[in-house]
Structure 1
Amino acid sequence: MEPLYLKILRDLEDKIASGQLAAGDQLPTEKELAEQYRVSRITSKRALNELEQQGLIKRTRGKGSFVTSTNTENTNTNRVLLLLPFTDDVAIGNLSGSILPVMQDAHYELMIATYDFLNTHTTQDIKNEFDGLIYYTEDENQHLDVLFELSFADFPIVLLDKEVTDLKLPSFLADNLAGGKEACDYLVKAGHKKIAYLFGNHHHPQSTRQRYLGYIQSLMENDITFHTSFEEDTTEKERLVDYVKHNQITAFVCENDITAIEAMRTLRQAGFLIPADISLVGFDNIQAAAFVDPPLTTISQDFKAIGESAGKALLSWIKTKQKPNSQKIPVTLFVRESTKEITA
C-alpha cells in the first residue's frame, strides 16, 4: 500500500506539472492538506518537505508554500551512484562492468565510488546529485544510518550481494542457499557420506550462512546424519588436519574458493591426495579456481545477471516510482578435477 504522504505528493506534483498550479501560486497549508486528505499534519508536512527538496516549491515561515517551477523533469539528474567496498571490483565479479551498459542504454551516467564517498557527502547531497543508488552490501550492519535516511525519503536504492532485512530494500544476489545445496548434492551423488562444511574465518556473513544451510538441507534430504556444526572453525592448519583424520572426512563444501584453495594446500602438505583422498568444492568461481592444481570444482555466481537485473530494476523504480521486488539469481556448478567419485 502506498504511504499516505506519497498520495499528497503525487497529486501536487501532477498539478504543478499540468500547470494547474503555476509558478508563484500558493499551495494549501499543512493543516488544509491534512483535513483534505484526512491525514495527520506530520504526513502533510512530509509531502511539502519533499516538494521543497525537489525544488518545486519554496516554503516561507509565516507566509506559506509557493510553486517555484512547473517542470518536474528538471528534478532528474540522469545519474546513478554505485557504491562498492573496493576501488577495483574484479574481486566481486566486475559488477560495475555489467551495470554500466544498462545505464548507458538508458542514457544515464553511472558514477562508481567506494564507501569513502559517504565520508564527504551527506544524504541530501546524494539526493540532489543522483536519481538512485546501487549499494554493494559488504556488511549488513554498515552504513545503516545513510541507507535508512535515504530509504525513509523514498530515494530509490537497490542492494547487491546481501539483504538488509530491517530496511526492506530490494536486493539482487546469488541464490546462495541453492548453491550450497547443489555443491553438497553433487558430492553425495559422487558417493561421499562424510562431507564437512569449511568456514573461511570467524566472521560468517549472510551469504556464508545461506550456503551452510543449503549444505545442511542437502544432507537432510539425503538422510546423511554427519554434518559440521555452525560453531566449528577448522581453518587453522593443524585443526583442519586433525578434524579430517578424526571424522574421516572425504569431502568439503567450502565457503568460497579462497578457503578451498588454502585448504587444498594444507591437506596436500599433510600428505593427503586431492581428489583421491579428499574432494573439495568451492564457491564464486574466481579466476584462480581454474588454474590451481588440481583445478577447483566450484559454484559460479552470475555477476553479469546480478548487475544487469539490479540496474534495470533501479531504472524502473526511478521511472515508475514503484519499488521492485528482490531477486535471487541462479548459480551454476562447474565440475573440475578437485572432486571425484568414491566407491563403497
Structure 2
Amino acid sequence: MPNKQTICQDIRDMLNSGQLRAGMKIPSHRELSRKYCVAIATVTRAINELKSEGVVESVRGVGTTIAVPDPAAVPPERPDVALLNAGNDSNNHILTYAVNEIFIGSPWKVVNYNACANLKWYANFLRECHNCAHAGMILPVISPNVFAYTPDMLPPPNSKVVLLGGELPGCNFDVVRSNPFGEGLLIGDYLVSRAFRSVLYITPSPEGEQPESETLRGLALVLNRNQLAFDSTRIRRYRDEYSYGATPDPIRAAVEFTVALAEREPMPDVIVAGHDWVAIGVIRALRQCGFRVPEDVSVISAEKGCGHELNFVTQKLTTFDNLYYHQARVAAELLMERLKGDDSPIQHHQIHGMMIPGETSR
C-alpha cells in the first residue's frame, strides 16, 4: 500500500525527469490523498518531508509548489569537461586522446573518469554529477541489457552533454554513434566476397536491442539477397555475467557458451561475433575444441572496440572498425560549440566505419 515515501519519491522522480519544474504547483493534499488512496495526514507528512529537503515550498494564495533554488545555494559548476567511460580501459586512451586534441588550449580541462567496469562506482558518479554538474560531459552510453539509468543519474536538462553510442531515457542531448545498418551491409558484402556458405552470429545482446538489431537487419538483407541463408535461426545469444564487477572478464562467457555450442551442433564456415571480446572468446573456445582458425572456421568481429592490444593475445582479428576515435572527435567538437554558446537544435550524427581484414578469416 502506498505510504508517504511513495509520494515523496514520485514527486522527486517527476522533478528529476523534468515533468515538474521550479515554480510549478503540485496537486492539492486532497487530490494526492485520492490518487494514492491514503489519509490526508499521510500526504501532509510527505509534503512536510519534501519541505524539509527544500524540494517544495508553500506559497500564500497559490498552494504547494516546487521550490525555486536559491542561486547562492546552488553548487558551482565544475570547470572541467568530463569524459566518462563505464567499461574496461582497453579503448579509454583512444577516447581520451581524441577529446584532448579538440580541447587543448581551450578554457576547459578534459578529465577522464574510468569506471573500470565497476557499475556501482559509475552509478554513484552519475548521481554526483546530477547534483553538481561539470561544465560539459562526453558520456558513452551503456546498453540497457547491462545497466538501467534512473532519473537521479541523468544529467539535468540544460547540461552540456554529448552522448556516444546511444540515447538516454527522457533526455534530449546531442548523440554521436556508428551507422549500425550500414555496418551490417558492409559486413554482409565482406562475407559474400569471401564466398562463405554458412554463417552464425554470436552475441550477448538480447533480441531487439538497439543498435545491434539494425546491424543484423542490414546483414540479413545482403546475405539473403545473395542466396546465403540468414535469419533468427542463425543467431545465438548468451547471457554475459562476467564483464562487470570486481574482476571483470568480458571473454569468459563467450568461451563457455561457444564450447557448449560446438559440442552440440556443427560449426559454420564463419562465425560473426557481436564485438571484439566475444570474438576472442569464440576463437579460444574453437581452439579448445580442436578447430583451427581460420582453416576450419573463420571468425570476424562486428564491432572493433578493444584497441590493438588484443592482437597480442590472438591472431590479428578481422573486425569492423566503428572508428571510435572519429566518433569521439565529433563528440568533442559538438561539446566545444555548446560550451561556447551554440543553442541550435539537438544534433544526431552517424559515423560510417569500415571492414579491417585480419588473420582470422580465410
Q: Same fold (TM over 0.5)?
A: yes
| Structure 2 segments unaligned to the other structure (5+ residues) | 1-19, 25-58, 61-67, 116-121, 239-253
**Conservation of the 8 A alpha-carbon contact between 2:127 and 2:153:** no
The aligned residue for residue 337 of structure 1 is 359
The aligned residue for residue 251 of structure 1 is 270
How many residues align? The count is 271
For residue 165 of structure 1, report the CA deviation from its aligned partner: 6.0
Separation of aligned partners in 2, 1:321 and 1:201: 36
The aligned residue for residue 236 of structure 2 is 232
Separation of aligned partners in 1, 2:274 and 2:165: 15
**Which amino acid in the other structure matches residue 94 of structure 2?**
N
1:123 corresponds to 2:130? yes
Q: How does 1:35-184 map to 2 (within 5 A)?
A: 78-86=79-87, 89-92=89-92, 94-113=94-113, 114=115, 115=122, 118=125, 121=128, 123-126=130-133, 130-140=134-144, 142-146=148-152, 148=154, 150-151=156-157, 154-164=158-168, 166-184=170-188
Separation of aligned partners in 1, 2:336 and 2:270: 44
| Structure 1 segments unaligned to the other structure (5+ residues) | 1-41, 47-60, 69-74
For residue 145 of structure 1, report the CA deviation from its aligned partner: 1.0
Q: After alignment, is 207-216 or 270-279 more displaced?
A: 207-216
| Alignment match of 1:299 (pick from 320, 324, 329) | 320
SS in 2 for 1:105: coil
TM-score w.r.t. the length of structure 1 is 0.66
For residue 204 of structure 1, report the CA deviation from its aligned partner: 8.0
SS in 1 for 2:320: strand
**Which amino acid in the other structure matches residue 82 of structure 2?**
L
Separation of aligned partners in 1, 2:107 and 2:101: 10
The aligned residue for residue 269 of structure 1 is 288
Separation of aligned partners in 2, 1:95 and 1:292: 22
Separation of aligned partners in 1, 2:108 and 2:226: 49
Separation of aligned partners in 2, 1:132 and 1:305: 19
**Conservation of the 8 A alpha-carbon contact between 1:183 and 1:281:** no
Separation of aligned partners in 1, 2:259 and 2:78: 56
Separation of aligned partners in 1, 2:154 and 2:204: 30
CA offsets per residue over residues 154-205 of structure 1, 9 Å max, x none?
A: 2222111223364332211222332233223211111112111111466985
For residue 211 of structure 1, report the CA deviation from its aligned partner: 3.1
**Conservation of the 8 A alpha-carbon contact between 1:215 and 1:253:** no
| Alignment match of 1:284 (pick from 280, 289, 304) | 304
Q: Indicate the percent of aligned positions where both proteins have the same amino acid.
A: 17
**Conservation of the 8 A alpha-carbon contact between 1:172 and 1:310:** yes
**Conservation of the 8 A alpha-carbon contact between 2:291 and 2:297:** yes
SS in 2 for 1:95: helix
**Which amino acid in the other structure matches residue 337 of structure 2?**
S
Separation of aligned partners in 1, 2:21 and 2:124: 32
For residue 222 of structure 1, report the CA deviation from its aligned partner: 2.4
SS in 1 for 2:156: helix
**Which amino acid in the other structure matches residue 329 of structure 2?**
E
TM-score w.r.t. the length of structure 2 is 0.63
Separation of aligned partners in 1, 2:228 and 2:278: 24
Larger Rg: 1
SS in 1 for 2:186: helix
The aligned residue for residue 348 of structure 2 is 326
**How has the CA–CA distance of structure 1 residues 158 and 192 changed in structure 2, closer, same or farther, with 3 Å as cutoff?**
same
**Conservation of the 8 A alpha-carbon contact between 2:84 and 2:140:** yes
**How has the CA–CA distance of structure 1 residues 76 and 125 changed in structure 2, closer, same or farther, with 3 Å as cutoff?**
closer
SS in 2 for 1:322: coil
| Alignment match of 1:213 (pick from 214, 217, 220) | 217
CA offsets per residue over residues 295-316 of structure 1, 9 Å max, x none?
A: 2211112122111111110121
Separation of aligned partners in 2, 1:77 and 1:238: 49
